[in-house]
Structure 1
Amino acid sequence: MRVVLAEDHFLLRNGLVQLLTAYGHEVVEAVDNGPMLLRALTELRPDVAVVDVRLPPDFSDEGLRAAVEARTRVPDLPILLLSQYVEPLYAHELLTTGSAGVGYLLKSRVTNGDQFIDAVERVAAGGTAMDPEVIQQLLTRKVRDERLTALSGREREVLECLAQGRSNAGTAEALYISEKAVAKHIGNIFTKLGLPPTEADNRRVLAVLAYLDH
Structure 2
Amino acid sequence: MRVVIAEDNALLREGLVLLLGLAGHEVVAVAGSGPEIVPALLEHRPDIAVLDVRMPPGFRDEGLRAALEARERIPGLPVLVLSQYVEESYAGELLGGGTSGIGYLLKDRVGRVDEFLDALERVAADGTALDPEVVAELLSRRRESPLDPLTPREREVLGLMAEGHDNATIAGTLVVTERAVHKHIGNVFLKLGLPPGDSGHRRVLAVLAYLAHAPQV
TM-score range, shorter chain: over 0.9
Following TM superposition, by how much is the alpha carbon of 1:43 offset from its aligned partner in structure 2, in angstroms? 2.5
Classify 1:13/1:93 alpha carbon distance in 2 versus 1 (closer, same or farther; 3 Å). same
Question: Counterpart of 1:90?
Answer: 90
Percent identity over the alignment is 61
1:129 maps to amino acid: A
Give runs of aligned pairs for residues 19-168 of structure 1, distance below 5 A: 19-145=19-145, 147-168=146-167
Question: Counterpart of 2:13?
Answer: 13
Classify 1:201/1:181 alpha carbon distance in 2 versus 1 (closer, same or farther; 3 Å). closer
* TM-score after normalising by structure 1: 0.94
CA distance in 1 between counterparts of 2:35 and 2:97 reads 19
Which sits farther off after the overlay, 87-96 or 51-60? 87-96
Which sits farther off after the overlay, 37-46 or 5-14? 37-46
Q: What is the CA deviation profile of residues 108-156 of structure 1, one whole-angstrom value per residue up to 9, with x for unaligned ones?
A: 00111111000000000001000000111122223322x2111111000
Q: Secondary structure at the match of 1:149?
A: coil
Q: What is the CA deviation profile of residues 188-211 of structure 1, one whole-angstrom value per residue up to 9, with x for unaligned ones?
A: 112221223455973323222212
CA distance in 1 between counterparts of 2:199 and 2:29 reads 33
Gaps of 5+ in 2: none
CA distance in 1 between counterparts of 2:24 and 2:35 reads 27
CA distance in 1 between counterparts of 2:49 and 2:136 reads 25
1:150 maps to amino acid: P
